[in-house]
Amino acid sequence: MIFEKLNSDSTLKDFLDEAEKEKKELNESYQESKRQAIERKKKKSPGQLESKMIKKRANQWCKNNGYSIP
């Protein structure tokens, strides 16, 4: 009976240690994903900038020629 109690306590401790380790790894992974998302938002791809310039020029053309801006 004492051996069974010791064994179950050891198993429980191992389980809790493993769960705490996984929790820490998940948190680190989440923080890294969050950092990468912020980094992507800071960087603008050339295509995004070109698209904004085209839209700006198209809006200006509409204004200059009496059309409503979409």
User: Which residues neighbour 61 within 8 Å (Cβ) at sequence distance 6 or greater?
Assistant: 67
Query: 63 near 69, Cβ under 8 Å?
Result: yes
Res 6 pLDDT > 70: no
- pTM given for the model: 0.49
Query: 56 near 46, Cβ under 8 Å?
Result: no
- C-alpha span between 10 and 18 (Å, rounded): 12
Determine the straight-line distance between the first and last CA of the chain, rounded to whole angstroms: 80
Q: What is the pLDDT of residues 30-46, one digit of tens each?
A: 999 999 988 887 776 66
DSSP state of 66: T
